[in-house]
A and B are shown apart, each in its own frame.
Chain A
């Protein structure tokens, strides 16, 4: 557990902190995610993806649940994450991070903003549409296109 923590805690903490904007709340998410993993080590199936990516998604979802005061997702074992770049090592992650930041930097502002509202705030397309005044269909398209442009950068 201590090895896993040392390797992946910063991924879990930084996404939780970005979503929640509060160090104490981010530490709570960090604690919950790793305790869940400790209580049930079989919850992550290493044959179905890489752990850094899986933890990032689980931590983001848990942080959004906490932000929106929702009940946590019941079965995280069902969350399968498939990602192209190898994120296991620090070097690979640092390289991927630079690329992602550059894709985000080049993204049209409206698209980036829709994606960030959905991803970091957990807003539904209806809520985003109400906030920006854009049609629902446009918001949906922007969110999906934003996610796909990240994948394309590693194709």
Chain B
């Protein structure tokens, strides 16, 4: 009996996850250096996949699909929020660390620099104030409990509205929508940046809340791309790379 035959039966049990104790340890040690047993293990897993197919027939209930999609949506939202919060939280610390470093360097260079430190601190305090104001603006814009009111001429029925604020040099885009019609479960709205030339650029996928409101804050965009207009289409909920007609809303720059 050669060494591979000796392990052949244990390999089948190992693939099934039912080999234990010393036999398992010995086999794992052998697998580390035996390519042919490794290949055989992969094929035994293939045999297991075939056996799984013998059970085919039942299909999961529709609610299972919805449950998964809900969990995916919650996790992506949590991820986006935590990424944004991390950035905001890190800014004061980065500023503080830079100031501390500057203080040590300038102290060594004498009184002249000490005055400069005082100036820097004053600038930093101003920046902190600006940062605080910027944070308050963004928090108000994105607050889930914010009251959002769109004022229109009296006796006008509510219309879907979107406002895109885009700063090309910073590739920064804020989009606010209101009165957006609800969508089927597997669909979402997608915002498009329309450049003067070339294909529309995806600028964020969003689903309106129960009251038809939605925001898109700084979606990933190519650097300094010029915008002629912005448009909205209805796409599958994971978004598309090119718009699916028709365009449901559109607006050009003023």
B46 is contacted by which of A26, A30, A31, A83 (Cβ under 8 Å)?
Answer: A83
20 residue pairs A–B, Cβ–Cβ below 8 Å? A1-B68, A9-B64, A10-B56, A13-B60, A13-B64, A14-B56, A38-B75, A53-B46, A83-B45, A87-B53, A97-B53, A97-B56, A100-B53, A118-B13, A122-B18, A124-B18, A140-B9, A141-B9, A147-B12, A151-B50
Query: Which of A23, A80, A81, A124 has most chain B Cβ within 10 Å?
Result: A81
> How many whole Å from B237's CB to the nearest CB in chain A?
7
Asked if B17 and A27 sit within 8 Å, CB to CB, the answer is no
CB-CB contacts below 8 Å: B220-254 with A: 236-238
B53 is contacted by which of A5, A49, A56, A61 (Cβ under 8 Å)?
Answer: A56
Q: Kindly list chain B residues whose C-beta atoms are within 8 Å of the C-beta of A15.
A: 52, 55
Q: Chain B: residues with CB nearer than 8 A to chain A?
A: 8-13, 15-20, 39, 42-61, 63-65, 67-69, 71-72, 75, 186, 236-238
Q: Kindly list chain A residues whose C-beta atoms are within 8 Å of the C-beta of B186.
A: 2
| Bound form: Cα–Cα A104–B20 in Å | 27
Known: A60-B48, A83-B50. A140 touches B72 (CB 8 A): no
Asked if B71 and A52 sit within 8 Å, CB to CB, the answer is no
Asked if B61 and A23 sit within 8 Å, CB to CB, the answer is yes
Q: Kindly list chain A residues whose C-beta atoms are within 8 Å of the C-beta of B51.
A: 100, 115, 119, 147, 150
Asked if B236 and A2 sit within 8 Å, CB to CB, the answer is yes
| Bound form: Cα–Cα A72–B209 in Å | 36
**A30-B64, A83-B45 provided; 5 other pairs, C-beta below 8 A?**
A1-B238, A27-B64, A53-B50, A60-B48, A81-B45
Main secondary structure on B side of the interface with A: helix
Known: A23-B61, A93-B56. A5 touches B68 (CB 8 A): yes
Closest 8 CB pairs of A and B: A83-B46, A53-B49, A56-B52, A144-B12, A82-B42, A18-B55, A13-B60, A147-B47
Q: Kindly list chain A residues whose C-beta atoms are within 8 Å of the C-beta of B238.
A: 1-2
Q: Kindly list chain A residues whose C-beta atoms are within 8 Å of the C-beta of B9.
A: 140-141, 143-144
Asked if A82 and B46 sit within 8 Å, CB to CB, the answer is yes
> How many whole Å from B71's CB to the nearest CB in chain A?
6
CB-CB contacts below 8 Å: A44-90 with B: 49, 52-54, 56-57, 59-61, 64, 73, 79-85, 87
A101 interface residue per 8 A CB criterion? yes
Known: A9-B64, A31-B64. A2 touches B55 (CB 8 A): no
Asked if B49 and A87 sit within 8 Å, CB to CB, the answer is yes
> How many whole Å from B234's CB to the nearest CB in chain A?
15
